[in-house]
Structure 1
Amino acid sequence: MNLMQDAPNVVSEDGLRMLLAEGHSADVVCRATPTKTSAQWSGVWTVHCVSPDGEIRRLLVTSRNNMVAREFKTINGLVSFLAGVGLTTASIPMLEGKVASHRLDNNS
């Protein structure tokens, strides 16, 4: 079973790391405008892996088996994830529908 062929529009965290190293980008999409409670910003963000030519877009999922969109509910959680996949900067869209694109540094 070839999971990339069976579910070409999704990617796992490990798959995202691999594709970022091959020149893909990670788009952070704001799904719900965040609100601030004390010192914490909470909202809903998803991550999409986009091919260098922009033609292929894959949604980050919790696992390739159940294919549930991985949602980040806090900016802290999102930034921790982005750093964990090797990104050295994080741009966070703060309005529903806005997108911020990220690529690995050339020196990575």
Structure 2
Amino acid sequence: MAMDLAKEAPNVVTEAGFKDLIESGYHVEVVCKVDAYRKNSVWHGVWVLRAVNDEGVEKQLVTARARTAGDHIQIRTFKTVTGLVSFLIDLGFSVVAFPVYEGQRWTFTLSQSEDISTED
């Protein structure tokens, strides 16, 4: 019997749905789960993303294959800054920052990204 994630787990969303939420006005919240550290020239850590609307409704980003062995929903994690930045740029953000200490959060909205101007 298949589980309907929209009914059973209303606080999660796959990558395709996450992008739709962001485009419809949700904010992206980046949460640092493990302190970041630099190894050679790459920053590592653990970050998760949430889509949050103005009323505070949160949707946690999960992998496209949201179910794994044992019927558990798998939260999408980013373990390098490169992966995190690439994902945020693919969502349409042109300026990216990220939290580096466990528990820190950073919020993005597409309108913030669009307001950035550059000088020649």
TM-score by length of 1: 0.89
Question: Percent identity of the aligned residues?
Answer: 36
Determine which structure has the larger strand proportion and give its number. 2
How far residue 64 of structure 1 moved from its aligned partner, in angstroms, is 6.0
The count of corresponding residues between Structure 1 and Structure 2 is: 107
Runs of 4+ in 1 over 6 A off after TM superposition: none
Aligned twin of 1:90: 96
CA distance in 2, matches of 1:53, 1:64: 28
Paired with 1:73 and 1:27, the residues of 2 have a C-alpha distance of 16
Q: Residues of 1 paired with 2:66 and 2:77: CA distance?
A: 16
- Describe the shift of the 1:6–1:32 C-alpha distance in structure 2 as closer, same or farther (beyond 3 A): same
Residue 60 of structure 1 corresponds to 61
Please provide the CA RMSD for this pair.
1.9
What SS is found at the alignment partner of 2:74?
Answer: coil
TM-score by length of 2: 0.81
Structure 2 runs not aligned, ≥5 long? 68-72, 116-120
Whole-angstrom CA distance in 1 between matches of 2:4 and 2:76: 21
Report the alpha carbon displacement of residue 57 of structure 1 after superposing the two structures with TM.
0.8
Look up the match of 2:41. 39
> 2:83 aligned to 66, 72, 77, which one?
77
